[in-house]
Amino acid sequence: MTENRETLRASLLKELDPAKIPAHIGIIMDGNGRWAKSRGKSRIRGHQEGARRVKTVVRFANDLGVKHISLYAFSVENWARPSFEVSALMRLIRAYIIRERNDLHAEGVKFRLLGRLEELAPEIVRQAQISTELMQNNPGLSLNLCINYGGRAEIVDAVKKIINKGYKADQITEELIAANLYWPELPDVDLMVRTSGEMRTSNFHLWRGAYSELYFTPVLWPDFDDVELLKALLAYQNRERRFGMISEQLAKN
């Protein structure tokens, strides 16, 4: 980090209110391919740089007191990409889980995969289970790696679970659906961040993200560092979250 970047980081930290840190941040990590192309490198190299950036962001979020961070690493739609890129991404995900396991554990982080895990390579799921079990009692941030994940798919799978449990139509409530999502204990997303300048949520956390504050940045994911995360957090803290109410009602609460 350059001296100017360090100065900016310190300045942003002073503005941050520790009492208003979002409990759950969702990040759509976009722009790896464009980052690589702009440097004359392969898309795979871009994904490798993006994986390295995860460590910086997760560590800093943990230090700030964020409770949950969900990273959109591979969507159900991403299988349509060229087969060589899909294979490389799966190898990269497996390598990340193994490589970062001990460091994440040492930093008190918890870990889990979210998505249609039955469609993933068994070795990826096995390595993820090892990490989940190792870190399950850690006190820090929960890192939720969303692989083969889709917001619509999660809702469909929740409805299938409910049907298989024998519930009738008049018994179905929002609370029941929420209790059958991939990890029911995971709270709603407070802040959803998308990098690379695209302004859409791309089927990410559709249920839990119903009242998320959205933050879009032109910064490509491999360039998204702790300073950029601070900018997103400050934008979040400067918004009024009304959840359908009006400002006067919030003032009374």
Please pick, among 30, 144, 148, 226, the residue that the annotation labels catalytic. 30
DSSP 1-28: --HHHHHHHHHHHHH--GGG--SEEEEE
Residue 205 gets which letter from DSSP? S
Beta strands in the chain (DSSP E): 24-28, 68-75, 110-114, 142-149, 191-194, 213-216
What is residue 155's three-state secondary structure? helix
* 3-state percent breakdown (helix, strand, coil) of the chain, nearest 5: 55, 15, 35
Amino acid of residue 2: T
Tell me the two tokens of residue 71: 């990273």
Q: Which of 160, 56, 48, 60 is nearest to 95 (CA)?
A: 48
Amino acid of residue 164: N
Q: Is 30 a catalytic residue?
A: yes
Please pick, among 78, 138, 188, 225, the residue that the annotation labels catalytic. 78
Active site (catalytic) residues: 30, 78
